[in-house]
Amino acid sequence: MIAAIVQARMSSTRLPGKVLREILGKPMLWHLINRLKKSHLIEKIIVATSIKEIDRPILGVAQECGVEFFAGSEDDVLDRYYQAASKFCADPIIRITADCPLIDPKVIDKLINCYLKNKGNVDYGTICIPPTYPDGLDAEIFSFAALEKAWKEAKKQTEREYVTSYIWKNNRIFRQLNVACDEDLSHMRWTVDEEKDFLFVSEIYKGLYKSVDKVFYMQDILDFLKAHPEIAAINQGIGRNEGYIKSLRKEGADIEKEFLPWKRKA
The predicted-structure confidence for 233-254, as pLDDT tens digits, reads as follows 999 877 666 655 565 566 666 5
Mean of the per-residue pLDDT values for the chain? 92
φ/ψ bin of 242: left (φ > 0), alpha (ψ from -120 to 50), beta (otherwise):
alpha
Give the domain ranges of the chain.
3-253
Share of the chain above pLDDT 90, in %: 82
> CA-CA distance, 141 to 4, in Å (whole number)?
9
Point out which residues pair with 128 in neighbouring strands.
131
Q: Is the pLDDT of residue 259 over 60?
A: no
Predicted local confidence at residue 266, as pLDDT: 39
Helix (H) or strand (E) holding 34: helix 28-36
- Between 28-36 and 195-208, two packed helices, what is the crossing angle to 10 degrees? 50
> CA-CA distance, 199 to 252, in Å (whole number)?
34
Predicted local confidence at residue 178, as pLDDT: 97
> Please, is 6 exposed, middle or buried when counting C-beta atoms within 10 Å of its C-beta (0-12, 13-18, 19+)?
buried
> Looking at the chain, how many residues does it have?
266
Q: Is the pLDDT of residue 264 over 60?
A: no
Q: Quick one: average pLDDT of 37-63?
A: 97
pLDDT digits 0-9 by tens, 158-173:
899 999 999 999 999 9
CA 226, 227, 229, 231 torsion: positive or negative?
negative
- What residues have CB less than 8 Å from 253, skipping those under 6 apart? 158
Predicted local confidence at residue 48, as pLDDT: 98
> CA-CA distance, 228 to 222, in Å (whole number)?
10
Contact indicator for 194, 237 with CB cutoff of 8 Å: no
> CA-CA distance, 11 to 1, in Å (whole number)?
30
Q: Is the pLDDT of residue 16 over 90?
A: no
pLDDT digits 0-9 by tens, 196-232:
999 999 999 999 999 988 999 999 999 999 999 999 9
According to CATH, the topology of domain 3-253 is Spore Coat Polysaccharide Biosynthesis Protein SpsA; Chain A (3.90.550)
End-to-end CA distance of the chain: 31
pLDDT digits 0-9 by tens, 133-160:
999 999 999 999 999 999 999 999 889 9
Predicted local confidence at residue 244, as pLDDT: 57
Predicted local confidence at residue 265, as pLDDT: 43
Peptide bond into 27 cis (omega under 30): no
Q: Is the pLDDT of residue 125 over 70?
A: yes
Q: Is the pLDDT of residue 182 over 70?
A: yes
Phi, psi angle pair for 127, to nearest 5°: -115, 15
- What residues have CB less than 8 Å from 180, skipping those under 6 apart? 127, 132, 266
